[in-house]
Chain A
Amino acid sequence: MYRILVCDDDKEIVDAIEIYLGQEGYQVVKAYDGMEALHILKNQEIHLIIMDIMMPKMDGIRATFKVREESSVPIIMLSAKSEDTDKILGLNIGADDYLTKPFNPLELIARVKSQLRRYTKLGAIGTEESSKVYKTGGLWIDDEKKTVTVDGEQVKMTPIDYKILLFLVKNAGNVYSIDQIYEQVWGEEAFGADNTVAVHIRRIREKIEINPREPRYLKVVWGIGYKVEKFAQEE
């Protein structure tokens, strides 16, 4: 039974989230400002925090900072501040995810689940490793078993999609144009009019990303190509 701490000064939102999470079978603890959250954290075992930013007494940024001083519990930031700068600030300060209001409740739940899996799967890593596993963040591709796992959950893929994804994950961090990917995967020279690759990319995204419009792993570099984000591995 996971216990999730929800911290927001808007009571209705906290209650709504409580209902959503309750329906998924999680236990919810409520807090309405940063100080309360810290206090609760000290006294109870918490597996995940959902933290708003704009709060009285202590705002979400400072609270996250303080939490990170002692714990690595996953934190999902939830805010109406949607600027890039806000997201970057939140993630840099130690949050694991950032969700803007208004949010899709399904997306929230999916993200919570993904964070929890990653957090708890820490212990279970290692026993099943084979030599040809390519990892980036929570996205693992086992080339021996030909499996794709996102945050511990396996995802089914078509062969072409798999090849594309494998190529990009192996070279995580590098950007490849449509033509380059095409040549790599199909083995022949690309001709201009084909946008099959783009379609495939979109499909892959829809499978592995919680929110395909805001992908965490497979990103579009508009006008240049595609890449898979390279994350530092958690050991």
Chain B
Amino acid sequence: MKHNWKSSRLLRLFLGSVQVISAVILILFASVLVQISDAISGALKNQPVEQSSGFKRYVEADLERLQKYLQEREKRSIEGRDENQPVIYIYNEDRTKEIQITRQEVLAMEEGGIYFYQSGDKYVFGGGNVKKEMTFEEEEGWYAQSPEMGYITSQYGLEDLFYDEIYSWMNRIYAEELSYQSEEEFYMNFTEESSNFRYYVEDKKTGKSVLACGIKDLQDAEGMRYFKNVDTGSYRIAYGVDGMMPAADKYQDYIADYSNAEKWQTFMIALLLTGGLGWLVSLVLLLACTGYKKHKEGIVLTRMDHMRLEGYTFLLVIGVFGLWTVLMVPIGILGSGIGSSSSAVYQVIMNASVMGAVYLGCYWLLFTCVRRFKAHTSLADNFLLLSGARAVLRWLREGFKALYKDRNMSGRVILGFVSYVLASTFLLLLWDSTYSGFMRLILFLLLAALNIGTLALLLRYVGQRRKISEGAEKQAEGDWDHQIDTAGMWAEEKTLAESINQMGAGLQKAIDSATRNERMKTELIVNVSHDIKTPLTSIINYVDLIRRENCENENIRKYIQILDQKSQRLKQLTEDLVEAAKANTGNIELNVERLDMVQLLKQAMGELEDKFAARNLLVVPNLPEEGALILADGRRLWRVFENLLNNICKYAMPGTRVYLDMCRSNGMAAVVMKNISESPLNIPADELTERFTRGDASRSTEGSGLGLSIAKSLTELMGGRLELYLDGDLFRATVEFPEIIRTEEPKVPDGGEKKEETAVVSPWEEE
């Protein structure tokens, strides 16, 4: 297997651990980066440490705390810091009952948890180790006062007064106290030992120093790493950072980090590179390996890989959310009682685990996507939405096809129309029922799509029809090979087109086969007759030679005579055979031209004049002077006339007349030959007609066998008609052709220049 290494478990294990290690490195990198990012960025810019943004930020933060402390201090100095000073007074209308709450008591109550209840005719409230009591009467008015706040308020009921006002005052006082305490903390912190931050505060009104630490006056910048002055309204403050860094505080750390920046820089880059590259490379390799299992071909998809991606993402989200919720539970139960540091740690743990879960989830998502891609799963398989859509579409299409397919034409049209109407009505109703512009837009698009789709279908149908009719037309014209392209046709159109195609193909085959057969037939006949002629030549020659021997024997002379006759007949027949075959199948090349049928007849008469004379036949011509022009092949028409006239010579009763007439009718010119037959014509005319096409030579007398058949075929080939009519002993033959209008006869001058002409030529010039 090619992918041997890809399916190796060991490799994957190795890569997996590389992943984890490099991820850890990267996290390290990130955390270090977060801490010293300012240092790094500053170092990269080659700034002195005091000017780096991180340093400045520290300084300004310290300044801010200083200012806040000053504010608190100011407030305290106005009011005094006596803890035993009452801060809240509660009394009734005539001041006969009064309760005072000191600051200390407020603090204690808040820290212990404030309570307030009614016990008999007394109200009791307190918290911690403080407890106050007050008797009350109904309908008594109460007052509460907080000089610190500057409030005097009254209520009818002490309970209401307590909950509405006193309670919130106490909260506020407590909050302030806390902040003051933290400011005191701050003050504690900003000693020369604990911090490198130095300051000098001068009261603007008195000009006297209020606070100072490490700086003697506003201008004393000696030994300062950073020194600035600021005017805050009531104070002038000079502040800075001690250059010698006696205290081990954040400034020291920062500077140390900063100075190590370069080392850190290389280190950081190394971390980044190893971590990053390691992570990337191992990820890529793992992705390459994913999906291959030992001993199995191709990509193997886990069960999870078949889940739709939406579902997967959903599960992931649920899982992370669930995890977060679960982790929040302890916080919820224990409330804010948890110390801030442990709470912070827990917070970090929680965040880390959630992020880890998200990372793992995305990681798995990536892998499953890659596997699916490698396995060439289709998009629809991966997305619920798409597969749902695909299923719906398929269902619709199947349903439609089933409805559509086997209906006949009108049914289909009705169905299509009805669905179109329903769909558009539905869309229009929806349109009407919604006012949302967005919905309307969607509906409009759907409607447009429906209409365009319908139009497209109609056009397509029209196009198909056109293709079919074009195809049929082509075939009618004789192009049997043309095939209608049936791609995309359904039902009736398809069957129609296919039927036409088949008809055409069938016809083409039939025609091809018929032409082939015809050609083979004539070829056969021509070849055979050719082969017959060779031995026939020898027979004729040697018969002739024998005759030349002038044998004395009477019998031999007789026999030779017969042999000679018969071999000549054989020769004639062989020649006729070829011509008949060619004439019958129309395989003759005709040189059709305009000729005068009357002239031809005269020429024929001239040729056969002595034959007629030999039988004592008187030819009576009745031919028009102007002649009759027809379109025919001269030589072939001569053959026809020759054959007919020869027959007359042979079969006419000697001493009778032969009538040769020319008559015209209906645009046809006809030559009519009439004679009286010597022997009775005991064959009816139609049988005689049939006879020639069959060439029944055995029953007829010598020479007439194929001749008439050829004559009839030739005439018909030239577009004419040969007809025989028998009445008693009258034999009549008619040769008819369409007559053409005579044009001018061109004059041929004596001995004039004229181009060389071949055997068949027409002197008639085209006008």
Answer yes or no: are A and B bound together in one complex: yes
The prevalent SS among residues of A at the interface is mixed
Q: How far is the CA of A189 from the CA of B518 in the complex (A)?
A: 51
Q: Is the CB of B759 within 8 A of A219?
A: yes
On chain A, the residues within 8 Å of B545 by CB distance are: 16, 19-20
Q: How far is the CA of A175 from the CA of B593 in the complex (A)?
A: 14
Report B510 CB to chain A, min CB distance, Å. Answer: 30
Q: Is the CB of A13 within 8 A of B748?
A: no
On chain A, the residues within 8 Å of B624 by CB distance are: 192
Q: Is the CB of A178 within 8 A of B541?
A: no
Q: Is the CB of B538 within 8 A of A13?
A: yes
Report A24 CB to chain B, min CB distance, Å. Answer: 12
Q: Is the CB of B761 within 8 A of A221?
A: yes
Report B564 CB to chain A, min CB distance, Å. Answer: 11
Given contacts A103-B537, A223-B634, contact A173 B595 (CB under 8 A): no
Give A158-201 interface residues, CB cut-off 8 Å to B: 167, 170-171, 173-178, 180, 184, 191-193, 195, 197-201
Give B596-634 interface residues, CB cut-off 8 Å to A: 596-600, 602-607, 609, 621-627, 630, 632, 634
Report B541 CB to chain A, min CB distance, Å. Answer: 4
Q: Is the CB of B598 within 8 A of A192?
A: yes
Given contacts A173-B754, A195-B605, contact A13 B760 (CB under 8 A): no
Q: Which residue of A lies closest to B621 (CB)?
A: A193
B756: Cβ under 8 A from any A Cβ = yes
Q: Is the CB of A101 within 8 A of B575?
A: no
Report A201 CB to chain B, min CB distance, Å. Answer: 6
Q: Is the CB of A222 within 8 A of B637?
A: yes
Give B559-612 interface residues, CB cut-off 8 Å to A: 567, 571, 575, 578, 595-600, 602-607, 609
**Stretch touching chain A among B313-321, B358-366, B528-536:** B528-536
Q: Is the CB of B751 within 8 A of A224?
A: no
Instruction: Among B609, B625, B637, point to the contact of A202 (Cβ < 8 A).
Output: B609
Report A25 CB to chain B, min CB distance, Å. Answer: 15
Q: How far is the CA of A199 from the CA of B544 in the complex (A)?
A: 31
Instruction: Among B603, B621, B748, point to the contact of A220 (Cβ < 8 A).
Output: B603
Q: Is the CB of B757 within 8 A of A222?
A: no
A235: Cβ under 8 A from any B Cβ = no
Encode contact with B along A1-40: 1 for CB under 8 Å, 0 otherwise. Answer: 0000000001011001101100100000000000000000
Q: How far is the CA of A33 from the CA of B752 in the complex (A)?
A: 47
Q: Is the CB of A225 within 8 A of B537?
A: no
On chain A, the residues within 8 Å of B623 by CB distance are: 192-193
Q: Is the CB of A223 within 8 A of B596?
A: yes
The prevalent SS among residues of B at the interface is helix
Q: Is the CB of A195 within 8 A of B757?
A: no
Size range of the chain B interface in the assembly: 35 or more
Q: Is the CB of B634 within 8 A of A224?
A: yes
B322: Cβ under 8 A from any A Cβ = no
B655: Cβ under 8 A from any A Cβ = no
Q: How far is the CA of A102 from the CA of B570 in the complex (A)?
A: 10
Q: Which residue of B lies closest to A212 (CB)?
A: B607
B762: Cβ under 8 A from any A Cβ = yes
Report B645 CB to chain A, min CB distance, Å. Answer: 12
B635: Cβ under 8 A from any A Cβ = yes
A80: Cβ under 8 A from any B Cβ = yes
Report B634 CB to chain A, min CB distance, Å. Answer: 3
Given contacts A191-B625, A223-B634, contact A102 B542 (CB under 8 A): no
On chain B, the residues within 8 Å of A103 by CB distance are: 537, 540
Report A53 CB to chain B, min CB distance, Å. Answer: 11
Report A199 CB to chain B, min CB distance, Å. Answer: 5
B699: Cβ under 8 A from any A Cβ = no
A72: Cβ under 8 A from any B Cβ = no
Instruction: Among A10, A19, A171, A223, point to the contact of B600 (Cβ < 8 A).
Output: A223
Q: List 11 A-B contacts (CB under 8 A).
A: A82-B533, A173-B757, A180-B748, A192-B626, A197-B602, A198-B605, A201-B606, A220-B603, A221-B761, A223-B638, A224-B634
8 closest pairs, A vs B, by CB? A198-B606, A223-B595, A192-B625, A222-B634, A223-B600, A16-B541, A80-B533, A195-B602
Given contacts A202-B607, A222-B637, 11 further A-B contacts (CB under 8 A): A16-B545, A102-B541, A103-B537, A171-B750, A171-B754, A174-B748, A176-B748, A191-B625, A193-B623, A222-B603, A225-B599
